[in-house]
C-alpha cells in the first residue's frame, strides 16, 4: 500500500503538438529569409517602359544583378557586328590570365592583318605593336586589324579561334548565338541575341574587369600610339563606362553599354537602331529611366 497522503506527481505535458512546433519553426525561417531577400533587393530594381520613339529592333536592359528591367525582341537572332569582339576579347583576356602572353609581348603586323575587312585602327605592315596597344585599338577604335593580330597570338588560324568562340558560347550559356568570324563581319551563320549579349557583357565585366580600364576612356595614349573611343557617351556621361559599339550594313547600328551610378549599375543592349546618333540618344534616355535622371 502506498503511504497515506502521498500523491503521484503528474508529468507536465506541452499543450503544443510536435507538428505545430515544427510548422511554426519553418514559418519563422521563411519569414526571416523573406526579410533578408527584401533587404537585399534594391529599391530601383523594377521594370521600365522603353521610350515610345525607340527605333532599335531589339532591346535588353539589365540591372547590375542581371534582373530584367526591359526587353524587346530579346531572343531574336541578329547580326551583332563588332559586338562580336566582346567574346573575342573575353577569350584574349582569358589567355592573358593564363599567361599565354603578356601585355608587353609584341606582334609584327602582316599585310593580311593590316588589310583585314571591316573597321580598322590603321596598323601598317611591318609595324611592331604590343598586346596592350592592340587591346586599346580593338576596344576603343574597334579595329579589325587589331583583332586579327591578337587572334594570331591565341590560335593557329582565325578558323581555329572561331571554333573556340563557339565552344565558349556554349559554356557561357549563349544559347541563341553562333559565330563564323572573330570580328563581326555579316554572315548567314553569324548571329547573337540581345539576351546573349547581355549575358556576355555581364560575364566580361565580372570575369575581366580590366576591360573597363580601356572601354571607360574617351582617349588613350600607349607607347606613342593614340586611341579614340567610338562610344560618344564615354566622357560625355560620367555614368557610362563603355563596353562596345558595332555597325554593319545588315546588323545596323548597335551598342552595348555598361553604366554605374553610386552603388548601382546596369547593362543596356540596343540592336539595329536607325542611325549612329539614335543609338546613343536612345541609350541616354534609357540610362535616365534606369537611374532616375541625368548623371
Determine the Cα angle at 158 with ends 197 and 152, to 5°.
105
Taking a C-beta distance cutoff of 8 angstroms, is the pair 273, 251 a contact? no
* Number of neighbours of residue 276 by Cβ within 10 angstroms: 15
Grid cell locating 90: 573575353
Q: Among residues 58, 79, 85, 216, which one is catalytic?
A: 85
Compute the distance between CA of residue 236 and CA of residue 158 in angstroms, rounded to an integer.
36
Compute the distance between CA of residue 19 and CA of residue 16 in angstroms, rounded to an integer.
8
Taking a C-beta distance cutoff of 8 angstroms, is the pair 137, 146 a contact? yes
Total residues found in the chain within this entry: 295
The reply to whether 100 belongs to the active site is no
- Beta bridge pairs of residue 222: 225
Helix (H) or strand (E) holding 222: strand 219-222
Taking a C-beta distance cutoff of 8 angstroms, is the pair 288, 69 a contact? no
The reply to whether 85 belongs to the active site is yes
Sheet architecture: strand order including 58-63: 68-72, 58-63, 264-273, 252-261, 240-248
Compute the distance between CA of residue 106 and CA of residue 97 in angstroms, rounded to an integer.
17
Q: Among residues 58, 82, 152, 177, which one is catalytic?
A: 82
- Beta bridge pairs of residue 257: 243, 268
The reply to whether 142 belongs to the active site is yes
Angle between helices 158-172 and 194-207 (to 10 degrees): 90
Q: Among residues 58, 142, 154, 215, which one is catalytic?
A: 142
Taking a C-beta distance cutoff of 8 angstroms, is the pair 129, 106 a contact? yes
Taking a C-beta distance cutoff of 8 angstroms, is the pair 55, 282 a contact? yes
- Catalytic residue numbers read 82, 85, 142
Amino acid at each position: 500500500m502506498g503511504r497515506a497522503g502521498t500523491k503521484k506527481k503528474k508529468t507536465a505535458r506541452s499543450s503544443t503538438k510536435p507538428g505545430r512546433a515544427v510548422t511554426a519553426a519553418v514559418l519563422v525561417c521563411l519569414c526571416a529569409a523573406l526579410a533578408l531577400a527584401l533587404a537585399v533587393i534594391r529599391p530601383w530594381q523594377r521594370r521600365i517602359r522603353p521610350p515610345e520613339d525607340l527605333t532599335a529592333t531589339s532591346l535588353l536592359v539589365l540591372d547590375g544583378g542581371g534582373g530584367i528591367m526591359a526587353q524587346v525582341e530579346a531572343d531574336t537572332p541578329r547580326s551583332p557586328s563588332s559586338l562580336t569582339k566582346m567574346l573575342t576579347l573575353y577569350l584574349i583576356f582569358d589567355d592573358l590570365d593564363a599567361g599565354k602572353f603578356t601585355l608587353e609581348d609584341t606582334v609584327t603586323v602582316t599585310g593580311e592583318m593590316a588589310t583585314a575587312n571591316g573597321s580598322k585602327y590603321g596598323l601598317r605592315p611591318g609595324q611592331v605593336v604590343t598586346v596592350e596597344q592592340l587591346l586599346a585599338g580593338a576596344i576603343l577604335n574597334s579595329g579589325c586589324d587589331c583583332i586579327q593580330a591578337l587572334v594570331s597570338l591565341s590560335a593557329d588560324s582565325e578558323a581555329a579561334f572561331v571554333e573556340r568562340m563557339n565552344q565558349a558560347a556554349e559554356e557561357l550559356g549563349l544559347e541563341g548565338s553562333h559565330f563564323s568570324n572573330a570580328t563581326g563581319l555579316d554572315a548567314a551563320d553569324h548571329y547573337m541575341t540581345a539576351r546573349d549579349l547581355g549575358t556576355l557583357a555581364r560575364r566580361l565585366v565580372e570575369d575581366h574587369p580590366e576591360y573597363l580600364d580601356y572601354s571607360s576612356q574617351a582617349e588613350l595614349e600607349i607607347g606613342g600610339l593614340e586611341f579614340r573611343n567610338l562610344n560618344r557617351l564615354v566622357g560625355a556621361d560620367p555614368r557610362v563606362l563603355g563596353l562596345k559599339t558595332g555597325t554593319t550594313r545588315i546588323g545596323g547600328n548597335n551598342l552595348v553599354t555598361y553604366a554605374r551610378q553610386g552603388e548601382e549599375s546596369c547593362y543596356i543592349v540596343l540592336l539595329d537602331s536607325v542611325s549612329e546618333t539614335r543609338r546613343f540618344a536612345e541609350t541616354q534616355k534609357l540610362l535616365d529611366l534606369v537611374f532616375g535622371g541625368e548623371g
